[in-house]
Chains A and B, each alone.
Chain A
C-alpha cells in the first residue's frame, strides 16, 4: 500500500515518543493522564500520556504505539496537536481531521479513531484523578 508523505515522515521521525515514567509510577501522578486504547490481537495499541498544568493546559504529551504506520502517524500527530491546548480544547479534536491531515485511506480510518479515543481516554483519566466530572459520552465503539 502506498503511504502519504506525512505518514512516512511521522513513521520515520515520530514526534514526542516516550512516557512520563513506568506505568505503575504515572498511575499515582495527578498531573498525568494516561490513555491506552486498542488491543494487541487487533494489531494496534496506542498509549498516550498527557502532562497537565494547574491552568488545565496540556504542557506536554508523549505517545507509544504498536500498530501499522498509519496508527503510528495518527498518534504522533495527536501529540503535536494537543500540546498547548486546554484539555477541553483537546477533546474537540475529531478523527476526521487526522484522516485529512494524513490522507488516510478508508481501511486506515480506524487508526484515526483510535487516536481520538486515546486523547479522550487520557483526558478522562486526568479528570478522574483530579475529581473533575467527565463527559457522559463513553468512548464510541468503532467497527473492526
Chain B
C-alpha cells in the first residue's frame, strides 16, 4: 500500500492506463482534424471520434447522434440549461416572464449558477428543498410544475453525499407535462446502469475525469426523438456538433472518453458490488468504534462508492489534518474566505456543527480493503485525539445539548 491513499474519487479519478493507451496514437500518429474530409489524417481522427460517440452512447442507452462533445460537465450543464431555456423561452430577451425552471438547492454550482444567471435574465427559478435525506422526489417536482415551466434540471446523484434521486419518475412527470428534463449525471453515469429511454431523460451531462477518463472532456446527451429537444448554442463558430458546440474537437480526449465509457460499461457490475462492500465496511466499522457518527443523506438510496460522515464534536479541517495520509474532502470550508460549511449539508437541515464535522470519502477502481482498513484506523485515532481536546464533547458527556446553548457568536 502506498501512502497517501486516494479516497477522493468524487473529485476526480485516476485515468485508467488502458484509456491513456487508447489516447496516445491520436496525439502523434492519427493527429488530424476530425473535420478534415480530404485526407487520411482527418478520416482517422473522425473514425476515432465516431467510435467514441458509439461507446458513450452505448453507456447510456442513447444513439450516437445524440451525443454532443463538450469540455466537461460544467459546460454540458451550461449548454443544456441555458441552451434549452433560451430555445424554449416564452418571451424575448429584455422582458420578464420568460419561463419557469425547476431545480434544487443541493445541485452542483455548475447547475445553480447557470440557473441564477437565467433568473437575472427574466426567467423564474424554483429551488426545491429536499428533505433531510437529501432526496428530491417526483412529487416535489410535480407540485412545483406550472403552466409556464419550460425546464426541470435535477441531478441524478449528489456529489457531496452520494444520494440518488428517482430520475425515472421525475422524468415521467416532466414527460406528462411536456417539460424538458435535464439531469446532471456526472456522479452517476459509468458507476450505475443508465438508459435514457427507460429513465425518461431528455438531456444528460457527464464528464470524462469522473469515470477514469481524461479531464477537460465531457458529453451532453440531447434527445433527438420523442420528443426532439433543441438547444440554442452557447459557443458559436464552425458549426461543429450539429451547430450545438463549435470548435475543433479534442480528438485524443474524446477517444479517451469513449474508452473510459466502454470500460465502465463492461466492469460496472463487479465494480459496484466490490465498492459497495468496502463502503459499508468503512461506515459500519467507524460507527461501531465511536459514538455520534452519522452518515449523511438517505441510508439506502446512495451511490455504492461514496460516503459523507459527520463525526460529532470534531471540526472537519482539524480532522483532515489528523488523517494526512488519506486524500479526501471535508464538508467544512473553513479554509476558504467564507467560514460557511457546505451548502449541501446545510441544505439537508443539518446543524452547522455537524456540517463542520464531516468528511467525504469516495472510493474508486483501485481502492483496496487494505486501504479501507487503514482509513478506519487513521480516522478513529484522529477523532479520538480531537475529542479529547473538544469542549463540545465534554458538554455532550455532561448531558448538555450543545444546540441549546446560546453561543457568544461572532
Residues of A in contact with B (beta carbons under 8 Å apart):
1, 3, 8, 11, 14, 17, 19, 22-24, 36-47, 64-69, 71-72, 107, 110, 114, 117, 121, 139, 141-142, 144
Contacts and interface: CB of A to CB of B under 8 A. Distances in A.
Contacts of B38: none
Given A17-B388, A65-B389, A42 B317 contact: no
B332 interface: yes
Contacts of B410: 37-39, 42, 114, 117, 141-142, 144
B390 A65 contact: yes
Interface in B318-340: 318, 321-322, 332, 334-337, 339
Nearest to B400: A23
Q: Lowest 3 CB-CB distances: which A-B pairs, in order?
A: A41-B352, A40-B353, A39-B407
Which secondary structure dominates chain A's binding surface?
mixed
Given A1-B335, A142-B410, A68 B391 contact: no
Nearest to B352: A41
Interface string B389-410: 1111011001010100001111
15 contacts: A11-B318, A17-B389, A22-B398, A36-B391, A40-B392, A41-B351, A41-B352, A42-B352, A43-B315, A47-B391, A64-B389, A65-B389, A66-B314, A66-B389, A68-B335
A41 B353 contact: yes
Given A22-B398, A65-B391, A43 B409 contact: no
Interface of B: 313-318, 321-322, 332, 334-337, 339, 341, 351-353, 356, 388-392, 394-395, 398, 400, 402, 407-410
Given A37-B408, A43-B315, A45-B407, A64 B391 contact: yes
Given A38-B410, A68-B317, A141-B410, A43 B339 contact: yes
Given A11-B318, A36-B391, A37-B410, A107 B352 contact: no
Among B341, B351, B395, B402: residue with most chain A CB under 10 A: B395
Contacts of A64: 389-391, 394
Contact of A11 (B321, B337, B400, B402): B321
Contacts of B335: 1, 68, 107
Contacts of B315: 43-44, 66-68, 71
A69 B334 CA distance: 11
B409 A41 contact: yes
Contacts of B317: 43, 68-69
B392 A107 contact: no
Contacts of B402: 40
Nearest to B356: A43
A141 B356 CA distance: 22
B353 A68 contact: no
A61 to B, nearest CB: 14
A39 B409 contact: yes
Nearest to A42: B339
A19 B391 CA distance: 9
A142 B409 CA distance: 10
Nearest to B407: A39
A37 to B, nearest CB: 6
